[in-house]
Amino acid sequence: MGTPTIRLEYDRRKRASATKEGSVELRIVYNRRPYYVSTGVRVLPKQWRRGQVVNRLDAYELQRTLDMYVAKARRIINDLTEKGELDMATVTAEISGRQKKEASKNVVKEKLLMDYFRERAEVRKYGRTEDSCERYDRFLRWFEAWGGMMTFEDITELKVVEMDKALAGMKPYSKWNNYHRFLNSFILDAINDGLLRKNPYKSIHIVRENGEDSLAKFLTREEFRRIEELKPTTTYLRHARDLFVFQTYTCLSYTDLASFDATRIKKVNGRSVYVGRRGKTNQEYTFMLLEPALQILRKYSYRLPIMTNQKYNEYIKALAGSAKIDKPVSSHWARHTGATMMLNAGVNMEVVAKILGHSSTKITRRVYAKLLDETVTDAMAAVEGQLL
């Protein structure tokens, strides 16, 4: 008897098309017989290349989920082989999370976490934006592939720590907002439903890297000017430079930049005004298109040269290097740079909150609190000689 081989297989049933997603499955071959396990990941043909997810905003997260499924399958096969209990029905059942523990001497089947989490996700997704729904689905795919918690008894401080270690390599902000936050919300639901007594997150310090740290992620006005005035030698770099400049003058996130629709521009007192809703929160935002932003729109006949966030960030880093800026600049820096420039120019906090799509000025003040402190200090320092 040989050793099972594992690989990812895309669109096994040949149902995908240019507009229809195909499923990615685990293909396990044992004794020349193939076995398939669904991963829950579905992508278009153009988003699958050489066994990897590409050309998607969430490509990294989806690929991480697939890698976790492969690792989980190897772990299960190795464990069963060591016990001399290798059986493909058991392997596929455990990978799929169908193995259930006995709840009593009467062998009552205990409800799996995944079953409960999926039910709660359907409730929590109701009425939310497509982007928010996808975040829930992304977490569920990753959590199931990780397989570290199977039942409510597994929800302990140590298991949460294990989960945090499994997310090693990700930035704290991303770990919390894309993974821990969702688990925590499901745990709170379970406590309300009487299925759990204690929330392990109350005893563990998970670094969240809250919005206050966002302030380090902006360019000074002089640094921004250097990027704005660059003359890139390639088309892609010119596109990236123009997108970054447009993003800075509009304070759009990458998601909202990618969905920018010029037909939403309307005239108000002779000015071009754009009204949209944030893909992340569905919160309405409004801003006037300043002349530099309008120039870029005219240059591309009001259709921005959008590229994947991954490529965009690569080009931004190249632009920063050409501009002699020694900072890890990314697309999100444009949003913060634009906001800091407006606040430093004296734009009212409520106006900036409306431009950013924040639901209240409290969020804006929290994110930019350090900036406001520094602005006050700089302003007072400038007149110190005249006061003393």
| Residues present in the chain in total | 388
Per-residue model confidence as pLDDT tens digits over 4-32: 999 999 999 999 998 899 999 999 999 88
Phi, psi for 204 (deg, rounded to 5): -120, 140
pLDDT above 70: residue 94: yes
CA end-to-end distance (rounded Å), the chain: 89
Instruction: Please give the share of the chain, as a percent, with pLDDT higher than 90.
Output: 36
More confident residue, 380 or 150: 150
Nearest Cα to 287, choosing from 347, 362, 373, 202?
347
Q: What are phi and psi of 327, to 5 degrees?
A: -140, 150
pLDDT for residue 287 is more than 90: no
Q: Decide if pLDDT at 96 tops 60.
A: yes
Asked if the domains 112-209 and 215-387 are classified in one and the same CATH topology, the answer is: no
Buried b (16+ CB within 10 A) or exposed e, 325-359: beeebbbbbbbbbbbbbbbbeeeeeebbbbbbbbe
Q: What pLDDT score does 168 carry?
A: 84
pLDDT in tens, 311-326: 898 999 999 999 998 8
Question: What's the pLDDT score for residue 209?
Answer: 58
Domain ranges of the chain: 1-99, 112-209, 215-387
Q: According to CATH, what is the number of the domain 112-209?
A: 1.10.150
Minimum mean pLDDT range among 45-54, 84-93, 269-278, 372-381:
372-381
* Residues 246-268 pLDDT 10s: 999 998 888 889 889 999 999 98
* Helix/strand/coil (H/E/C) assignment for every residue in the chain: CCCCEEEEEECCCCCCCCCCCEEEEEEEEECCEEEEEEEEEEECHHHEECCEECCCCCHHHHHHHHHHHHHHHHHHHHHHHHHCCCCHHHHHHHHHCCCCCECCCCCCECCCHHHHHHHHHHHHHCCCCHHHHHHHHHHHHHHHHHCCCCCHHHCCHHHHHHHHHHCCCCCHHHHHHHHHHHHHHHHHHHHHCCCCCCCHHHCCCCCCCCHHHHHHCCCCHHHHHHHHCCCCCCHHHHHHHHHHHHHHHHCCCHHHHHCCCHHHEEEECCEEEEEEECCCCCCEEEEECCHHHHHHHHHCCCCCCCCCHHHHHHHHHHHHHHCCCCCCCCHHHHHHHHHHHHHHCCCCHHHHHHHHCCCCHHHHHHHCHHHHHHHHHHHHHHCHHHHC
Confidence bin at 206 (pLDDT 50/70/90): confident
User: Is 1.10.600.10 the CATH classification of the domain at 215-387?
Assistant: no
pLDDT at 300: 95
In this prediction, residue 294 has a pLDDT band, given cuts at 50, 70 and 90, of: very high
**Binning pLDDT at 50, 70 and 90, where does residue 83 land?**
confident
Phi-psi region of 303 (alpha: psi -120 to 50; beta: other; left: phi over 0): beta
CA distance 278 to 258: 11
Q: CB within 8 A of 216, min separation 6: which ones?
A: none
The pLDDT, as a whole number, for residue 27 is 94
Q: Is the pTM of this model over 0.75?
A: no
Lowest mean pLDDT among 140-144, 223-227, 333-337, 356-360: 356-360
- 21 to 89, 130, 138, 271: CA distances (angstroms): 28, 16, 16, 42
Determine the Cα angle at 350 with ends 223 and 274, to 5°: 75
